[in-house]
Structure 1
């Protein structure tokens, strides 16, 4: 059986490959990357490194050839570009005869008010239309998404958000990666939708954990969307990033990430990594 991971040199993809190599012979593992030179460390371990670029659909047929199980990791671009890229990848998987597609989606993708959920709804729909057995890995928020707030707190800044007391199911990127590896190597995951979340916490509760790790009290400021935008602009972020962040904060405020589920731990076969440990990794402790 050949398992292929797209985006294998990215933050999530590299962790999935690392997890797979703990249970799958390297000879059974392939990766699809835009720049094969960046994956030479995987080739040296016996992994089949293939060139596959979502913006060059002609490369994907060869990249997906002979693949039994595919992990399609969501690309990183604007919504319109990502939808085009993902549909090209799904079409190539169909043409190559891929037997199973796992896709990294977002929690509650079908109804979520997150702007990025549009991409995931479109991609899930495209996969369903192929008739290929699938598993939608609907990940909640990566703890690493809060690295900016954590680093700002180290410098003495307050923890700023615009989500009121809404909750988020943070988990570490490594745990999401290990869950994906479990689906790729396990049985009984065909035609499944997994809502994957850690324990639900508020921003203030996460800031308290970060403060405990850092050994300091972190003041928490809950502001409205306009004030949040001004603060982000003051931090030097470009307007399109500020707009995206404000939209995300508004959706989180509306409960978009307050999805409670123990499925992540079920797939892991263990408790999720404590957020304290994840924050320690972020700050290099």
Structure 2
């Protein structure tokens, strides 16, 4: 039995899709979610749906019972992730889960990201638990940059505090395919995968958008405090704006870059090119999202 937590999110759903493509029977997959009503479509496809609320530990053991392999996807609320993951790990141990795969951030060991601290804590908690484990250190989602292009197209500029930092982003579909490959493979205990696609800078992104739209788009680099103020001015809470600005600045410190080839090796192909991701986003139209982990 393969159990996927947080399966209402975009990444979790894509992992389930990839498992089904790989021939895993729907009845052998559990979508462990806080609100089962949100995944009735998965139930209709034959996937088992179980309630699993990170903030209600009593739901977790029953959700994980019978699980041979568990994909633990952290929640979206900064500051709550580690306490939630600690409860989930304890429940996995009580349910005698065979293997726990944790979906964290790339470069967890060395990352200076404020968002990354809870991933460091969770990895340590998982290792200390004695549970067999494998780490899936996901790079940034390409969609975080390609589906928020509306303001850039209006103003002729992408803004941020990325500097010339390289971002080894990958699409959610790429990362979900890698997760499914790991979840359906033997001998994964103790492995650590740094999962990143072909790296690009924000200037590269601006140039690609300009090429595809025919509009002059540039990248405008800003001091991090100024960028945070702009985000706050767009309606984000100050604390969240500061957090996102720090996530941007982290690119200048190399936190979002990896030269690992783990991703293409797992999925058996190169990661989705930036040009393809931009074309898909432009075709679909702007769909802003500020949740970096959904």
Aligned to 2:289: none
Kindly report the root-mean-square deviation, in angstroms, between the aligned alpha carbons of the 2 structures. 1.4
CA contact (8 A) 1:172 1:275 kept: no
Aligned to 1:265: 264
Aligned to 2:47: 47
Q: Which moved more, 1:151-160 or 1:17-26?
A: 151-160
Aligned to 1:177: 176
Note the C-alpha offset of 1:17.
0.7
Note the C-alpha offset of 1:157.
4.1
Aligned to 1:106: 105
Aligned to 1:22: 21
CA contact (8 A) 1:149 1:160 kept: no
> Are 1:222 and 2:221 counterparts?
yes
Partner Cα separation in structure 2 for residue 127 and residue 247 of structure 1:
26
Partner Cα separation in structure 1 for residue 145 and residue 197 of structure 2:
15
Partner Cα separation in structure 1 for residue 218 and residue 205 of structure 2:
12
Aligned to 1:201: 200
CA contact (8 A) 1:3 1:29 kept: yes
Q: Write out per-residue CA displacement over residues 146-204 of structure 1, whole angstroms, 9 at most, x where no aligned residue.
A: 14641222323410011211111011111001100100011232210011111122110
Partner Cα separation in structure 2 for residue 276 and residue 257 of structure 1:
19
Partner Cα separation in structure 2 for residue 233 and residue 118 of structure 1:
23
CA contact (8 A) 2:142 2:172 kept: yes
Structure 2 segments unaligned to the other structure (5+ residues): 285-294
Aligned to 1:7: 6
Partner Cα separation in structure 1 for residue 212 and residue 184 of structure 2:
35
Aligned to 1:70: 70
Partner Cα separation in structure 1 for residue 214 and residue 114 of structure 2:
36
Q: Secondary structure at the match of 1:160?
A: strand
TM-score (normalizing by structure 1) = 0.95
Q: Which moved more, 1:273-282 or 1:14-23?
A: 273-282
CA contact (8 A) 2:108 2:116 kept: yes
TM-score (normalizing by structure 2) = 0.92
How many residues are paired up?
A: 283
Aligned to 1:38: 38
Partner Cα separation in structure 2 for residue 178 and residue 245 of structure 1:
27
Aligned to 1:231: 230
Partner Cα separation in structure 1 for residue 235 and residue 70 of structure 2:
39
1:62-141 pair list within 5 angstroms: 62-79=62-79, 81-141=80-140
Q: Write out per-residue CA displacement over residues 11-68 of structure 1, whole angstroms, 9 at most, x where no aligned residue.
A: 1101111111112111111110011111111111111100000000000010000000
